[in-house]
Amino acid sequence: MPESFVPVPAGSDFPLENLPYAVFSTQNNKVNRICVAIGEHVLDLKAVSQLYPVQVQKSLQAQSLNELMGQDFEAWDVVRTQTQKLLTKGSELDQNIDLKAASIVPQSDIKLHLPAQIGDYTDFYSSIHHATNVGIMFRGPDNALMPNWRHLPVGYHGRASSVVVSGTPIRRPLGQTLPEGAEKPVFGACKLLDFELEMAFFIGGKGNQLGEPIKVDEAWKNVFGFTLMNDWSARDIQKWEYVPLGPFTAKNLGTTISPWVVPTAALKPFLLDNFPQEPEVLPYLRQNVPFNFDINLEVSLKPSDQNESLISKSNFKHLYWTPLQQIAHHTVTGCNLRPGDLMASGTISGETPDSYGSLLELCWRGTKTLELPGGKTRKFLQDYDEVIIRGHCKKNGLRIGFGECVGQVLPAHPVAQ
């Protein structure tokens, strides 16, 4: 890969091989624009859109990524290739002093927004280790996985309106819970607030018409890129409300994503074999191409009065069901997907306790205590705790990062209590 004229510090998440997309504004120009990250700067794609082929210029001038997502994978490759050329030393952009000054912006000077207008949001349950852990807690080891779990990607439809960009505070939810031993529910603030370490991908391409499934080995054409996610969960509210239709208010309080969307093309060097599946799945879910990635994930917890502490290290590769199988199952009924739709992995846990992706597992349903520096402990999140999720791939000296996914817990709303 040629060298970028924009400095890229050693260990940066954002080298020339990455170029994750985001939507930003500045103090001097409050209009949202599309950018890519390079080192500690961004390239304003609207400012340089005239340097791209005509067929993609309009999508680069938009205020969200939806229009670019709605192009096909060939157009994404055109944009990515041209962006890498423009950022290379000696390029047309490098030699245009005025345009370079106008289009290269320090990240310290920008405000980041949701990368797309999210029409629909689906949350899957694709980590076998997480599903097994939760099943053991609530049903015992002999019935940990439900009979359907190894046959289809379990999921539910989430609430798109409460998906927020990293840095947005999350208020502790109010709701109904059933205290231990009680016969009637009570109303109040959630006491068992949790994070969930997840990744998500945005749907791209032309989508599919209502009534037309997407074939599993063609589904890669609909994966625009990946982002980090924290799907906040109110465990005590969920326990009372989820039977028989699944999560509702326990999950609609807020879902945080990173502002950066790493294109699928940037992850190709980190492809892995898909997670082994037994028994063999039905033909419409049989995937012949690898679509699993070696993405290192970590969660840190920062109480309001001390530094952050690393509490979990996991990896995307632990997911039993792939994004392509998720798309194939989601659309097998004929459900139509649209550019900008968000698909989440579900909590990503590994095999060992230090790789569990939620406090529910790390503290094993409150029976264990998470020790933090300075004598502090946690079983679930307290007010003003901050959760920081990070992710990166690393191989042969190449690092592709996802930035951060950050959210702080605020106290419950005082008026409604």
Q: Which residues are catalytic?
A: 130
Q: Flag whether 241 is marked binding.
A: no
Q: Flag whether 139 is marked binding.
A: yes
The CA-atom distances, in angstroms, between 174 and each of 102, 105, 187, 250 are: 46, 41, 7, 9
DSSP code of residue 149: T
What's the length of the chain? 417
CA distance 354 to 190: 26
Q: Flag whether 242 is marked binding.
A: yes
Q: Flag whether 196 is marked binding.
A: yes
| Contacts with 397 (C-beta within 8 Å, 6 or more apart), sequence order | none
- Number of helices (H) and strands (E) in the chain: give both, helices first: 9, 26
Q: Flag whether 231 is marked binding.
A: yes
Q: Flag whether 286 is marked binding.
A: no
Q: Is 374 exposed, middle or buried (0-12, 13-18, 19+ CB in 10 A)?
A: exposed
Q: Flag whether 44 is marked binding.
A: no
Q: How big is the CA angle at 81 (ends 77 and 82), to the nearest 5 degrees?
A: 120
The residue type at 147: P
Q: Flag whether 198 is marked binding.
A: yes
Q: Flag whether 255 is marked binding.
A: yes
Neighbours of 340 (CB within 10 A): 24
Q: Which of 348, 346, 331, 374 is nearest to 231 (CA)?
A: 346
Q: Flag whether 249 is marked binding.
A: no
Token pair for 379: 């079983």
Strand blocks (E) in 135-209: 155-157, 163-165, 170-171, 174-177, 186-189, 193-194, 197-203
Q: Flag whether 378 is marked binding.
A: no
Annotated binding-site members = 123, 125, 139, 196, 198, 231, 238, 242, 251, 255, 347
The annotated binding site for Mg(2+) is made up of 231, 251, 255
- Sequence ranges of the binding site for substrate: 125, 139, 238, 242, 347
Residue list for the binding site for Ca(2+): 123, 196, 198, 231
